[in-house]
Structure 1
Amino acid sequence: METILVQKPAKAEIVKNAKAYVLALLEEKLPAQLVYHSPKHTATVVKEARALGEAAGLSETDQEALLLAAWFHDVGYTEVYDGHEFRSAEMAGEWLRQQGYPEDRIEVVQNLIRATHRDAKRETELEQLLVDADMSNMGRESFFAEGELLRAEWEATGGKTYSNTEWADNQLAFLLASKYYTKAAKERYEEQFKDNIKDQRKQLKKTEKKNKKKKEEEGGTFAEPKRGIETMFRTMYSNHMKLSDMADKKANMMISLNAVLMSLIITYFGAKLGSKTAALSNVGLIRNPIIAVPMGILLATALASVITAILCAQPDVTSFKWLKRSPQIATNRRVNLLFFGNFSKLSLDDFQHGMTEIMGQKEALYTNMVTDIYYLGDVLTKKYRLLRLSYTIFMVGLILTALSFGIALLYKV
C-alpha cells in the first residue's frame, strides 16, 4: 500500500510566500487614505519583530509564527477599519490552511494577531513581542513624522480634524499610557521612548504658547492653513493624480492594441505583395479585390486611434514666457510656482523670492495651490478628450469594418 506524502512549504518558504501574498494584497486593496497603516508600516513591523525575536532567543518555530503574524496583522484593513485585528486573524487562517500549515500553529498565529487589539490581554511572550514590534514607532526617532501620517489617516477615515494642540495632547496621552512588555524591546527602544515623551511635552508647551500669544495673522508670517482646507487640497491632488494615471493606462492599452493590429495587417499585405506567385494565384484579394476595403478601413482605424492615444499619453508641460516680466510673482493668479514648468523659467533668486512670498502670505499660498490644481485639471481635460476620441474612432472603425466585410462576402457570393 502506497503512502501519499503531502508536501508542506519549508519554514523559510512559508514566510517568504506570506510576504509576497500580503504585499500584493495591500497594494491592490488597501484604501488610499490609509497613509500610516501602509505596506511600509507592515514591513517595518516584520523587521522589528525579527530583531526582537532574535534578541529574545526564540526557537525557530516560534520565530516563524511571530513573523507570519507580523505580516498578516494589518491585512484586515483591506475590508474593515475598527476591529481589523479579528478580520486579519481570519484572513491569515484562511491563507495558511491553503498552504497546508498545521492547525495548531495556525491558532498560535491567529492568537498573536488578535493580541494587537488595543483591549486585548498580552499573556504570552510571543504576543508581547508582536505588540512591542507593532508599537516600536514609540521608541524610534521617526515617531513624530509617522504620527503626522496617522493624524492624516484618522482625519480622512474618521471625518474629524485635529488642531495642533489637540493632536499633541492626544500623542502625549498615548505615550504616557503605553509601555513595552519584553526585555528585548525595553533594551531596544526605552531610551528613545523616554526622549520622545520629553519632546512631545516640549512641543505641546510651545503650541500652547503660540495659541495664547497670537491668532492667525493675514500676512508677515508663515501661513498656517486650517486642517480642513489642507485635507481638501490633499484629496483634490490625489484624485487628479489617479485620474491622470487611469487615462495613461487606457491610452497605453489602445496604443498596444492598435499597434498589434497595424503590424498584423502590414505584415500580411507585405508578405502577399512580396510573393508574386501567391499574388497571381492564391491571394484572396486577387480573387475578390473588394475584400481590400474592410482591411483598408481597419488599417485606417488603427492608425487614427493609435495617433490620438499617443497624443493623450505624451507629456504636456505648461509654461509662460512672460514669467520674468511679472513683478509680483507669488500673487499673480496665472503663475504657478509649485509647478516645474513655470518656475524652471525663473532664475534662482526670483524663484526663492517668490517662494518666500508664498510662505509668508496665506492668500499667495492658496492662490498658487488653486492655480496648480487648475492647470492639472486643464491637462487632464485634454487627456480625456483625446482618449474619448481614440475609443470612438476605434469603435466606429470596427463597425464599418464588420459592415464592409459582410458586404464583401455577399458580393463574392
Structure 2
Amino acid sequence: METIPTLKPAKAEIIKKAKAYISQLFEQQLPSRLVYHSPKHTAVVVKEAKALAEAAGLDNADQEALILAAWFHDAGYVDTYDGHEYRSMEIAEQWLTEHGYPPDRIALVKDIIKATHRDEPRETELQQLLVDADMSNLGREDFFANAELLRTEWETTLGKTYSNTEWAETQLNFLLGTKYYTDAAKERYKEQFKANIKEQRGKLKKTAKKKKKKEEEAEATFAEPKRGIETMFRTMYSNHMKLSDMADKKANMMISLNAVLMSLIITYFGAKLGSKSAALSNVGLLRNPVISIPMGILLITALGSVVTAILCAQPDVTSFKWLKRSPQIATNRRVNLLFFGNFSKLSLDDFQHGMTEIMRQKDALYTNMVTDIYYLGDVLTRKYRLLRLSYTIFMVGLILTALSFGIVLLYKS
C-alpha cells in the first residue's frame, strides 16, 4: 500500500505564511496600548500550543489546525477589544480561504479559536489545548510581570484602575478560578501554577498590611503618637523660640539707638536752658532757638519708640489664679503644666500629681504641649505688635523731623 507523505506542522508552508501574515498585521495595525496582548504573547501561545500538542500525541493534521488557531486567536484585537475572538475567526477564515485551505479545516480552526472566548464551551481536545496554551502564563515564572502588563493595558484601554490590594485580590481570584483542561497542561504547569498561587497570596497579605498601616497612620490618635506628630511639635517649638529671639534682638536694637538719640537731645536742651558752653555755642545751636522744634519732635519720636521697644522686650508670664482649685489639672486644656508661669502657682504635691498624670496619659501630654504652643504664640503676637509700633513711630518721627528741619532752614534763609 502506498503511503502518503506528511509534513511536520512546524515546517508546513501554511504555518510559515500564517506567521508572516500575523506578524505584519500586528506590526501595522495592532494598537500600541496593547502591551499584554502583543505579538510576543501570540508567539508564546503558539510555542506552548506546539509543546502541548506533542505531549498530547496529536497527529500532524490536528497539530497544524491547533497551531494555525494559535496564530490567529488574537488577530481580532486589531479591530476590537471585547469579543475580539469572533473577529479573529473572520480574519482567519478570510485569509485561509484566500490561500486555498480546505473548508472543513477552516471550520475546525474557527471552532478552536471560538473556544478562547470566556463564554464559549471547551468541549473538544483541540479547543481545550488552545485554551490551556492561552492560559499558560498562569503556570509560568513570568506570570507576575505579565500581570502588570495586563493591568496597564486594562487601565489604558478599558479605563479600569485598581489599587495594589484590589489588583492582588483580582489576580488571586483569577488564579483560583482557573483550571487546566488537559492532562498535558496539568503536567506541564502544575508546579509553577501552585507556586504562583502561593506567592500571590503572600503579595495580597503584604499589600493588605501596607494598606492597614497607611490607614492606621492616617487615623492615628493621641493614644498612638507618631514620629510626624513629634517632629511637628519640635519644629513649632523651635520656630517660636527663634521668632521670640529675633523680636528681642530687634527691640534691643531700637532701645540702644533711641537711648543714644535721647542722650544727645537731652544734652542739647540742657545746654540751651542751663549754660552757654563754648562747645555748643560754636555749633550755633543756642543762637537758633527755632531749631528746638525738630529736636523736640525727634525727642518725642525717640521716647515713643524706646517705650514700645521696652514693652516688647519686657518678660510676659501667663498664669491662672484658679490652678490650685482645678480638679483635673493634667487634662484641663487651659492649663499648661509645662510652663513655669502656670505651675509656680501650684503646691509641689499638686505639680507632681499633675506631671504624673501627664506621663500616664498621652492625650494629656499633647493637650499641655498644644496649650503651651498657643500661649507662646499669644506672647509672640504681643511682642511683634509692639515691635511694629516701635518701628512705625521711629519711621514717622524721622520723617516729621526731617520735614520740620527743612522748614526751619527755609524760614531762616
TM-score (norm 2): 0.50
Larger radius of gyration: 2
